[in-house]
Chain A
């Protein structure tokens, strides 16, 4: 009996705890579980969510991508600025290309050259922040025809009553889940993360697998930047600051192991969404804004702890 309870908590403890949290917030804040608030949360998590979908690929290969926060800032600045000069369609294309480009650059250094992922992407985080200031000259940019552009659809509109950014998040996640679970590339991602040496002995070009995972991470961050630019209709030089940690927290909270080789897209979706509801719930309960950072920290530590416990259990079994 006792071991069954332990096993249940290990498997579903986070979800159960999250359920309790939802109920207790709902009981004390009437606005919490209303469609309006739920859509607000979904709109908020769609940006980190789309990014986390790409980062999940990188994490499953057993690596990290910490550059996505600065990349989001840079790409948001680019999409807004280009919107004014080249028009929305061109701006989106340039943004996607730039995102994939930066991802590939990370991929060359980590995958093909074999440098340490933590250092490479942390350095990239710093480099891109510098690039933002170089590009914008330090001033904020704004979309000039914010009231009339169709660019607003990505961040501000609803489709059939559902916020478009949430739909973009959903579609990205569904496509990514298909790629991860059903395609040759997805299988290679799991294999490389699970055992890189055995993958090489099986004829898998593990370096290129890692390369493409980073390219994907760049692509999803670019999609997130389009949503962000559309929602804010402008960009400050710090707009994506700290996003890399929230994204990573969502991935870990979902249960994708930092050791590589296991994880899933729907888990990341769940992790990111849980984080969103926790932060929203705390605000509704009247806690000051900064409390959410402390709670995010505690939740991450808890998630990693439970993950470790489950691993030890598995090793002993």
Chain B
């Protein structure tokens, strides 16, 4: 067995009030894919930032190619041959592929003028080694997310990386793109590169990796060989308990129709969308990223203005609402991106919770803090949110706890319809399961629920009825026995088989 190319021993990193990493030891061997798993807040991201030189550990040692090293900044890490592929890509969309690959290390002549020819030639070589279909002169902003990720990975060729760290690389990829990514990773592996693979997705981890290290609360719970373990065992290590039923479908009886949408259209986004949802029903929206699902619900909620279409609310036709009117009707939208759309990160949990309902927490326009505090306390307990108090800025909370505040801010006003757009994206298994249970409880209490998800098991697991969407159109509706993965894939792929209309 090869010697490790990179070894961390006893790495400790503390932030005021938190031990983010507690004597963490971890190693990567050349040509291996080593998974790093753990719930949100377990310390994975912190560990990666230590490796990339963004954080400096308080104690512990990093040994790289047999030598103790100190990594001062990301550029230094890259020059040493340690490359971090971020969850949110760190590319400049206005620059070309070649310029992005060598960002911060552009070849120059003696006068400091950019050597464009060398830049192009080197970038082309890196792209060829990866089998990329785009060229070094393409502008990065015009590429798909998957291609942009390839640009980042191409840096591994350009800088002869020995260690490449992937942080949740498949979060926004389609299945085909994911397969391409795996092929690329296996290619790197064959070159003898050591790979660290961070993911929440068990199927990926077991498909791709050689060893798994589990982090919990900043400590290593253990490192296991992938072949000798299974998903249940790893999950147990991650959360310290086993998850029984992963999905919990609401056992509810359907009541009156809450919302009916007819012929909703928005040019360039979606076309002729019609559906309805009843009290107690969980309606799933399945489709790939870019199918137009988020755009549809944002239009219902008044964030976007529809070109055509009618809305019925509890059987009465109403004009398309503004967000304020939608909230006052009793609609709630848990948006796709909690940091950009869901929360004001600088504000505390309490202020975020009451934000959509300020008028009902005010007397003569003066905020009633006692009432706000009561709601905060109620939802902190009900959703078991881990926070030090109402004033703690939500920016400092883990992803799962942030998402709970997004839920709290919509649940506290007692909505009649709640729309959840990718409610479990990027959060850990434990929180995921809690959210699935919550969805079921909401439906059982008589709410109409719409769940948008790109994860097929999720959408099938929680919904009573599923609508499939592709390229801005509804392409199928499935209920009961017909709700199967095959049917959903058929519906979506049949539609996508047509040449893509730009």
Q: Which residue of A lies closest to B343 (CB)?
A: A198
Looking at A185, A197, A202, the one whose CB has the most chain B CB atoms below 10 A away is A202
Number of chain B interface residues as a range:
20 to 34
Chain A 258-317 interface residues, beta-carbon cutoff 8 Å to B: 261-262, 316-317
Q: Which residue of B lies closest to A192 (CB)?
A: B344
B500 within 8 A of A: no
Given contacts A183-B367, A317-B15, contact A188 B358 (CB under 8 A): yes
Interface size on A, residues (CB 8 A): 23
Given contacts A262-B346, A316-B55, contact A205 B324 (CB under 8 A): yes
Chain A 154-194 interface residues, beta-carbon cutoff 8 Å to B: 182-185, 187-188, 190-191, 194
A203 & B344 in contact (Cβ 8 Å cutoff): no
A134 within 8 A of B: no
A204 within 8 A of B: yes
B323 within 8 A of A: yes
Contacts of A191 in B (CB 8 A): 344, 347, 351, 355
A207 CB to nearest chain B CB (Å): 12
A317 & B16 in contact (Cβ 8 Å cutoff): yes
User: CA A261 – CA B322 in complex, angstroms?
Assistant: 24
Contacts of B358 in A (CB 8 A): 184, 187-188, 204
A203 & B327 in contact (Cβ 8 Å cutoff): yes
B326 CB to nearest chain A CB (Å): 7
Chain B 333-373 interface residues, beta-carbon cutoff 8 Å to A: 333, 335, 340-347, 351, 355-356, 358-359, 362, 365-367
A203 & B15 in contact (Cβ 8 Å cutoff): no
A198 & B344 in contact (Cβ 8 Å cutoff): yes
A190 & B347 in contact (Cβ 8 Å cutoff): yes
A28 within 8 A of B: no
A201 & B303 in contact (Cβ 8 Å cutoff): yes
User: CA A249 – CA B358 in complex, angstroms?
Assistant: 32
User: CA A261 – CA B352 in complex, angstroms?
Assistant: 13
Q: Could you say which of B322, B344, B367 contacts A184, with CB atoms under 8 Å apart?
A: B367
A201 & B362 in contact (Cβ 8 Å cutoff): no
Given contacts A182-B367, A262-B346, contact A201 B341 (CB under 8 A): yes
**A interface, by DSSP: helix, strand, loop or mixed?**
helix
Q: Kindly count the residue-residue contacts between A and B in the assembled complex, taking CB atoms under 8 Å apart.
A: 80
Q: Which residue of B lies closest to A260 (CB)?
A: B346
B335 & A201 in contact (Cβ 8 Å cutoff): yes
A37 within 8 A of B: no
Contacts of A185 in B (CB 8 A): 365
Per-residue CB contact flags for chain B residues 8-24 toward chain A (1 = under 8 Å, else 0) read 00000001100000000
B267 CB to nearest chain A CB (Å): 21
B409 within 8 A of A: yes
A258 CB to nearest chain B CB (Å): 14
User: CA A317 – CA B366 in complex, angstroms?
Assistant: 34
A190 & B367 in contact (Cβ 8 Å cutoff): no
A253 CB to nearest chain B CB (Å): 20
A248 CB to nearest chain B CB (Å): 21
A200 within 8 A of B: yes
B323 & A203 in contact (Cβ 8 Å cutoff): yes
A194 & B362 in contact (Cβ 8 Å cutoff): no
User: CA A185 – CA B323 in complex, angstroms?
Assistant: 17
B355 & A199 in contact (Cβ 8 Å cutoff): yes
Q: Which residue of A lies closest to B341 (CB)?
A: A201
**Which residues of B come within 8 Å of A, CB atoms?**
15-16, 54-55, 301, 303, 322-324, 326-328, 333, 335, 340-347, 351, 355-356, 358-359, 362, 365-367, 396, 409
Nearest 4 CB-CB pairings of A with B? A194-B344, A202-B356, A203-B324, A203-B327
What are 25 A-B contacts with C-beta separation under 8 Å? A182-B367, A183-B366, A184-B358, A184-B365, A185-B365, A187-B358, A187-B367, A190-B346, A190-B347, A194-B346, A194-B347, A195-B345, A195-B346, A199-B355, A201-B301, A201-B342, A202-B323, A202-B327, A202-B356, A203-B323, A204-B355, A261-B344, A316-B54, A317-B15, A317-B16
